[in-house]
Amino acid sequence: MKKKVTIKTISESAGVSPSIVSRIFSGKAKQYRIAQKTERKVLALAEKLGYRPNYFAKSLNSTQTFSIGLIFANTVDSFLGSIMEGVEARLRDTEYQMVVATCDNSPELERVELERMLYRQTDGIIIYPSALPLGEVYPTAHLAQQKAKPTPFVVIGREIPFESDFVLFSDYEAGELAARNFLDTGCRKFAAVTLPIECSSNRDRIKGFTETLEKAGIDKNNIVVSVANPDNSPKRSDLKKLEGTDAMFAINSSLLVEFAHTLAKAGVISSLKGYAPGMESFQHLLPLSGTFLPMPGREMGWQAADILLDKIISGNRDFMVKRLDWPEPVIIQAT
Amino acid sequence: MKKKVTIKTISESAGVSPSIVSRIFSGKAKQYRIAQKTERKVLALAEKLGYRPNYFAKSLNSTQTFSIGLIFANTVDSFLGSIMEGVEARLRDTEYQMVVATCDNSPELERVELERMLYRQTDGIIIYPSALPLGEVYPTAHLAQQKAKPTPFVVIGREIPFESDFVLFSDYEAGELAARNFLDTGCRKFAAVTLPIECSSNRDRIKGFTETLEKAGIDKNNIVVSVANPDNSPKRSDLKKLEGTDAMFAINSSLLVEFAHTLAKAGVISSLKGYAPGMESFQHLLPLSGTFLPMPGREMGWQAADILLDKIISGNRDFMVKRLDWPEPVIIQAT
DNA sequence: ATGAAAGCGCTAACAG
DNA sequence: CTGTTAGCGCTTTCAT
């Protein structure tokens, strides 16, 4: 039932003024040329009494809250988790904390969570924006802030039509790489598999793939783009079109695995080369040959946090777009 | 470049005192019998001027911060993500926010993050505690708080030797169920597979399995407990011991899949019944028959948050332990 | 039903 | 090198 110990408690029992204590604890001892012995005395006393500066009092007049917000479009899975990990890694050894929220791919909920964070005055926000059903357009109105000193934010993982900082994966290049690889190894009939979800990463991956093939003079009839059902399974009506495919690029690894299996079982394909961003736990156990591009989630998170901190600290207003490549590709041979 | 609008701004342009405005915004209008028309006037004005009460000023003298902390032992994956989702679901429509941190299975880091949250005065904390290498004991000193009104916390997922609230999975029962099922279907040689990680969930699952078998009179020679390598692969030296196994329980689904495959490929087993908590994306594609018990992560998170809120609001000091079962088991037939 | 005033714990001029 | 004095924006007696 000890009383709470504040700056005043310390200042009194040290026989100095509160300002001295405040200065010491805000790391301004040097700047104010505080006597070494005074500082030591205060520090010792604080330690002894178990003093902890009050976070709220501090933030109240400094308008720095040392918390940054993360808003994720959906439930955190291992990709989003790795982004979080990267952010946290960058934040270690700073005073910063992460406040996180998810918004179930709803721009409206996204807005609500954003508002909430602005209200709580997070110093900056990282946002992995909602993806919508095919055809719908991501609204950006909620991202505009009319304040003189707007809260900086960084968009991660998905490009949106709004001027901002971005940390993205090399989506287009991933598709391009897949196409090149297929072309180099003599494949003839190509499939690109995606999901019925509107977002830049899906779009750009597929685009990188198909454009590269087309530039190489592949006949459009030999490039099939298939949009899967939401549960990753192929649409029945696409089965025939996919017949004889010998090279398949998918927007992510689980989709690739699912497709390859289903098509093989249906007898629509025999052997197949696969290519996809992402990694699944058991791909090495599966009867599938393919190349997987691990997603640099951790690095993306780190970079996003780094940009954010820079903006917060330096007040820098320029926007930057950073595209990160995959680490070493992982090649799986059919067993 | 609008000036910030505070209680004072409102009170002035409404021609009332700041206290009135404060009362209205703290939902104490009734209690103070504030005139309907005054309230309406203030509310209208606030709306018009875009007033938002200042979170820090509020928390400064109320000691309620409306944030709850989550500390996870490791990088958030889909299980931990589902816990987060559950917590968030419970918190929706409250004022509460989540602050999250991970601690890389290090009790020391765990302590640091905990302290940080206490410093920031989160109203409550949910902690998924660190698991240690086999043989080490989880230290609990950092969890003790000597304050008069300690910050309530709930431990989730893993039991630790500390008096507290717990929200756990029915670990023992999962092992027991597997054993029963194997016995009922006439299996003869049993394996229990675990990881070299010290935590209650692993321990209890295995215990539930082996104890049930022993009680049923199974000879100990027919119950092999195998501790995998940290990368999920079987120890070379365990291969012979596992020869002829026809029923395998593993502490989680990915371990089961990995073991089943490796053993089958090594020719150590032929057909096998498997049982494990968890779900993997491709188990239905794998040549494996087994029963999987989906983890109730979301429900666990929800319950933990619910208990926490109750403690925060009611000040209730009793401890409770909640064990949650798996939802409907998922049965996979070899293809 | 409303107001005045004291403070929550800390910071930031402005004096010395 | 140190102290004094105002606040930050809100809540909360205590009056009226």
pLDDT digits (tens, 9 = 90+) for A147-160: 777 899 999 999 99
Q: Within a 10 A sphere around the Cβ of B28, how many other Cβ atoms? A: 12
Residues 6 or more apart whose Cβ sits within 8 Å of residue A335: A284, A285, A286, A287, B265
Nearest by CB to residue B257, choosing from A80, A98, A282, is A282
- The 3-state DSSP class for residue B329 equals coil
**Contacting residues of B for A113, CB less than 8 Å apart:** none
A60: nearest nucleotide, CA–C1' criterion: D8
End-to-end CA distance of chain B: 66
**Contacting residues of B for A285, CB less than 8 Å apart:** 257-258, 261, 286
Structure confidence at residue A2 (pLDDT):
57
Residue to test with chain B: of A88, A123, A252, A332, most B Cβ within 10 A: A88
Structure confidence at residue A43 (pLDDT):
87
Please tell me chain A's helix, strand, coil percentages from 3-state DSSP, rounded to the nearest 5: 40, 20, 40
Structural Rg of chain B based on CA atoms = 26
**Contacting residues of B for A80, CB less than 8 Å apart:** 76, 81
- The 3-state DSSP class for residue A86 equals helix
**Cβ-count burial of A294 within 10 angstroms (0-12 exposed, 13-18 middle, 19+ buried)?**
middle
Rounded to whole angstroms, how far apart are CA atoms A8 and A20? 10
Chain B interface with A: residues with Cβ < 8 Å: 1-2, 52, 54-57, 59-60, 65, 67, 75-78, 80-82, 84-85, 88, 97-102, 116, 119-121, 146-148, 254, 257-258, 261, 265, 280-282, 285-286, 335
Residues 6 or more apart whose Cβ sits within 8 Å of residue B27: none
The strand D neighbours among B residues 7-46, by Cβ under 7 Å, are 7-8, 18-19, 22-23, 25-26, 28
Structure confidence at residue B299 (pLDDT):
98
- The 3-state DSSP class for residue A210 equals helix
Mean pLDDT by 10 residues, chain A (335 residues): 78 86 86 85 86 88 90 97 98 94 97 92 96 92 83 96 97 98 95 96 98 96 96 93 94 93 87 92 80 97 97 89 96 80
**Do B67 and A116 count as a contact with CB atoms less than 8 A apart?**
no
Rounded to whole angstroms, how far apart are CA atoms B241 and B263? 11
pLDDT in tens, A103-143: 999 999 999 999 999 989 999 999 999 999 988 999 999 99
Does residue A58 reach within 7 angstroms of strand C, measured from its CB? yes
Structure confidence at residue B187 (pLDDT):
94
Structure confidence at residue A283 (pLDDT):
77
**How is residue A8 annotated by DSSP?**
H
| Separation between the CA of B9 and the C1’ of D2 (whole angstroms) | 36
**Do B80 and A84 count as a contact with CB atoms less than 8 A apart?**
no
**Contacting residues of B for A231, CB less than 8 Å apart:** none
**Cβ-count burial of A330 within 10 angstroms (0-12 exposed, 13-18 middle, 19+ buried)?**
middle
Structure confidence at residue B302 (pLDDT):
98
Nearest to A109 by CA among A139, A88, A84: A139
Nearest to A252 by CA among A93, A79, A84, A116: A79
Chain A interface with B: residues with Cβ < 8 Å: 1-2, 52, 54-57, 59-60, 65, 67, 75-78, 80-82, 84-85, 88, 97-102, 116, 119-121, 146-148, 254, 257-258, 261, 265, 280-282, 285-286, 335
- The 3-state DSSP class for residue B212 equals helix
- The 3-state DSSP class for residue B78 equals helix
Two tokens at B196? Answer: 């070299």
Contact B317, B164 (CB under 8 A): no
- The 3-state DSSP class for residue B34 equals coil
Two tokens at B224? Answer: 């092999």
**How is residue B297 annotated by DSSP?**
H
Mean pLDDT by 10 residues, chain B (335 residues): 78 86 86 85 86 88 90 97 98 94 97 92 96 92 82 96 97 98 95 96 98 96 96 93 94 93 87 92 80 97 97 89 96 80
**Contacting residues of A for B147, CB less than 8 Å apart:** 2
Structure confidence at residue A1 (pLDDT):
46
Torsion of CA A234, A235, A236, A239, to 10 degrees: -60
Instruction: Give the percent of chain A with pLDDT over 70.
Output: 99
| Separation between the CA of B19 and the C1’ of C3 (whole angstroms) | 8
Two tokens at B109? Answer: 């880091």
